[in-house]
Structure 1
């Protein structure tokens, strides 16, 4: 029996949409899958597409969470207006300071700060993961990562500056997924699963919770470094009451339609009615702070960004450094990295305006923001 499928794709007739829906059809045929919601930023990924929400009764599907467990966003308002970064020298000093304070790969082992006590005390489900926690987990905590992870300074429509950070569980999340998924049972659809009530299922859930806590702690450390840099360079503080934090790769027990379900989100925010979230665009397009409408057909979910329009390899073939510079004109970033950032060009992503229009019944726009300065790692 096939699960119910609800879609919010902006253009269901495009080649990308057809590829997404083909993957979703396979997912919907997987035993115990009760409901699938496809967000407007969905794009093809291995087994389960990014931008997919999957509800089950008793099975856990690691592929429906993905590897970057707990990946998410933090936004916080600075007590400054956009004129602060109108000056090239100020922007350059800020960007250099971000690269210095927030590594994109890892801290040197000798100087890496210790893991928080709660992360050290919680035992992971295998000795290999425990060893990795004490190595990569320690040296990567508070580091940005590559790909679509970033720290931006943004301007809202009233001229106020905001920080926006996007980062996740670094090497730990993929290792946890691989450890639990490799020995799991395989459904005829090809998707691997764990029984939520089994010992293996409970250990997976514990490890997922640990990875989500790790990702939150890592984001907190990076935001604190950025806040300290603004204070050091410009005497600017943040408005802590404005903070928005939400993740978009998780599995949670939720009630929908009177049923208790395991809701897996892979590249989708869970937003109950009125809850705040962040939908970023690209390094050259707007982002949005939103409030959830709690739409049951979407399992109370929202897009988590613009979503890729081009796979990374294709983007690198089609987009040159000069095109990236044109598309990101007016945004401060390290131009020396332009050639290596081609797969992060705005045209490698979907039109964020089309994504937001497609999900008008899922979220309400609270605030629109434009990029001012972008820290990304090539």
Structure 2
């Protein structure tokens, strides 16, 4: 049996991104960089603005990882109480999605942003969550070079976050799903 949960940086990553998008747009305007769309604004590697963005982005990604670990510890504890016996953890997979990392591909150091994707190096375990109640999958990466060792992670939404809060109350609980998982056996 697998327990899945999904959580990112709880909104702080988005706030960080929005701030740095505005910084990039202002710098492109200031430097007279002609863009076909202002949403294509960028920060130049090696500048203080780029370094600050990367530092804050890494903080948010680390926060998200620790957040999932803490939440999974609590889920395991609650499931153990619910089934009446200790849950023995067999494997834990904690994978980022919607993240940026410096990696080497085709002999070059590049920044890879995986939006709607997970890292899928050959043999690397990963999680493909279902779309609000559909099946979720534990997968193993194939290491496809042409996809920069990436795999789409699924997890489309049927409900907005606010609609989900209104719809799925304690009286009408939703199924287990999302993007941190633990495999366990229940003895007894």
Q: Which TM-score band applies after superposition, normalised by the shorter structure?
A: 0.7 to 0.9
**Aligned alpha-carbon RMSD (Å):** 2.8
Instruction: Please name the residue that 1:358 is paired with.
Output: none
Instruction: Please name the residue that 2:137 is paired with.
Output: 288
SS at match of 1:223: helix
Of 179, 202, 223, which aligns to 2:19? 179
Paired positions, count: 164
The 2-side partners of 1:304 and 1:267 are apart by: 6
Of 244, 247, 252, which aligns to 2:101? 252
**TM-aligned CA deviation for residue 299 of structure 1:** 0.8
**TM value normalised by structure 2:** 0.76
CA deviation vs aligned residue, 1:229-267 (integer Å, no higher than 9, x gap) = 122232333443411110111111111111111111111
**TM-aligned CA deviation for residue 171 of structure 1:** 2.7
Structure with greater contact order relative to length (CA < 8 Å, sep ≥ 6): 2
Instruction: Please name the residue that 1:217 is paired with.
Output: 66
**TM value normalised by structure 1:** 0.39
**TM-aligned CA deviation for residue 311 of structure 1:** 8.6
Instruction: Please name the residue that 1:166 is paired with.
Output: 6
The 2-side partners of 1:307 and 1:232 are apart by: 31
**TM-aligned CA deviation for residue 286 of structure 1:** 1.3
The 1-side partners of 2:177 and 2:93 are apart by: 20
Instruction: Please name the residue that 2:36 is paired with.
Output: 189
Cα 1:198/1:236, change in 2 over 3 Å: farther
Of 93, 99, 113, which aligns to 1:264? 113
CA deviation vs aligned residue, 1:100-139 (integer Å, no higher than 9, x gap) = xxxxxxxxxxxxxxxxxxxxxxxxxxxxxxxxxxxxxxxx
Gaps of 5+ in 1: 1-160, 317-323, 325-332, 339-371
The 2-side partners of 1:182 and 1:232 are apart by: 47
**TM-aligned CA deviation for residue 337 of structure 1:** 5.5
SS at match of 1:182: helix
The 2-side partners of 1:188 and 1:166 are apart by: 36
SS at match of 2:130: coil
Runs of 4+ residues deviating >6 angstroms: none
Cα 1:162/1:193, change in 2 over 3 Å: same
More strand, by proportion: 1
